[in-house]
Amino acid sequence: MLSAAESALLFVATCEAVLGVLGNTFIALVNCKDCAKSKKLSKIGFILTGLATSRICILWIIMIDLYIKLFSIHVFTYSILYESLNYLWVIMNHLSIWFATSLSIFYFLKIANFSHYVFIWLKRRADRIFIFLNGCLLVSLLIDIPQTVKPINDTKMQYTNMSWHIHLQANELLINHIIFQFGIVFFFLIAVITCLLLIISLWRHNKQMQLNVSRFQDLNTEVHVKAMKVLISFIILLILYFIGLAMEIYFFWQEDTLLFVLGMIIMSMYPCCHSFILILANSQLRKASLRLLQQFKYCDNEDLASTQQCGTDLSALK
């Protein structure tokens, strides 16, 4: 039976996951609608749709894992569902980081302004860069998926070992889940590098334009700042994601339910909060969200007017 504090955190985690699913579903639907209208899927549309879809899957996996571990762990540990969720989590986790890294590279190549020949060479071969990232993703999955076999076997053996083994098993699980995620670390470093280069590009742009301010230059600065906000938020939230993952693994095996659920909440912040940051930063998504809010407001006003009209008609009948 959960305590009041644990139940409250579980409610917060559930609400966070629901908001994250709604936000990412909105991103996917808007891009799919635009694709259907133009009959062509743009690169940015493909990246955002893939990113939103993978994050929806991650949020579902996190919530299923949370509820099962809290209420039916003994049945869950020995089932095929446990292994399936672990493998699915590894795949979706890599896809999510890959799409986010691809988005950071897309912003960098489109927005940054360098005269160095290496940057010009990369900008002209953007399609080849994404093909290279596809290869890196495949290699990363081939390396990291086998690494999940040991944590799964360790978890199954956890219930057959003596209680003094628990601390050792928890540390081993933590190492296997985090340290051996080589592919994710690689993509994370690329995102950090692109973010730093964007900051350098913005600094150089502002330095060059201090004496000659125009509307076009202000817009260029604004685009730089928006892209940097997206990338910096991605880096911060990804760090929090792995902190939450470490808390979830460690405190679950230490049987500290409160901190375990708190770790899940911190994990969910990455796929949830970053989706709303993307909506606010992307002009197309922001306009679509404003139109949706206006429609909801219009429907509410219509419902209110119809209710008042109904009340007037009833008064007239009396």
DSSP 78-136: TSHHHHHHHHHHHHHHHHHHHHHHHHHHHHHHHH-----HHHHHHHHTHHHHHHHHHHH
Question: CATH no. for residue 191?
Answer: 1.20.1070.10
- What is the rounded CA–CA span in Å between residue 54 and residue 129? 21
In a domain, 205, yes or no: yes
CA–CA gap between residue 132 and residue 126 (Å, rounded): 10
Q: What angle do CA 86, 50, 193 make, to 5 degrees?
A: 90
Q: Is residue 291 domain-resident?
A: no
Considering the domain boundaries, does residue 313 fall inside one? no
Question: Two tokens at 272?
Answer: 């949830």
Residue 290 lies inside a defined structural domain of this protein: no
Alpha carbon distances (Å) from 187 to 31, 126, 138: 24, 17, 12
Cα-based torsion angle of the residue sequence 35, 40, 42, 46 in order, rounded to the nearest 10 degrees? 60
Residue whose pair of structure tokens reads 């150089």 in the numeric block? 204
Q: Are 226 and 278 in contact (CB under 8 A)?
A: no
Quickly count: other Cβ atoms within 10 Å of residue 17's Cβ. Answer: 23
pLDDT of residue 78: 57
The secondary element (H helix, E strand) that includes residue 78 is none
Question: For tokens 């992307």, what's the residue?
Answer: 282
Query: Which residues lie below 8 Å from residue 66, measured CB to CB, with a gap of 6+?
Result: 10, 13, 261, 264
Mean per-residue pLDDT pooled into runs of 10, the chain (318 residues): 82 92 92 83 85 92 86 65 79 87 85 78 81 82 71 58 48 59 78 82 70 57 76 86 82 78 89 88 83 74 55 47
One-letter amino acid at 239 equals I
Number of independent structural domains in the chain: 1
Q: Domain span at residue 279?
A: 4-285
Tell whether 312 is covered by a domain. no
Q: Which two tokens stand for residue 290?
A: 């404003």
Which residues touch 167 (CB under 8 Å, ≥6 apart)? 253, 254
| The pLDDT of residue 168 | 47
The answer to whether the Cα torsion of 231, 236, 239, 245 is positive or negative is negative
Token readout for 191 is 């995102």
249 within 8 A of 177, measured Cβ to Cβ: yes
CB 70 within 8 A of CB 14: no
93 C-beta neighbours (distance < 10 Å), count: 21
Amino acid identity at 169: Q
- Using left for φ > 0, alpha for ψ between -120 and 50, and beta otherwise, residue 57 falls in alpha
Q: What is the pLDDT of residue 45?
A: 85
Q: Decide if 294 is inside a domain.
A: no
Structure tokens at 180: 């051996």
- Does residue 302 fall inside a structural domain? no
Residue 223 to residue 39: CA distance in whole angstroms: 27
Residue 203 lies in a domain: yes
pLDDT of residue 167: 47
Sign of the CA dihedral running 97, 99, 102, 108: negative
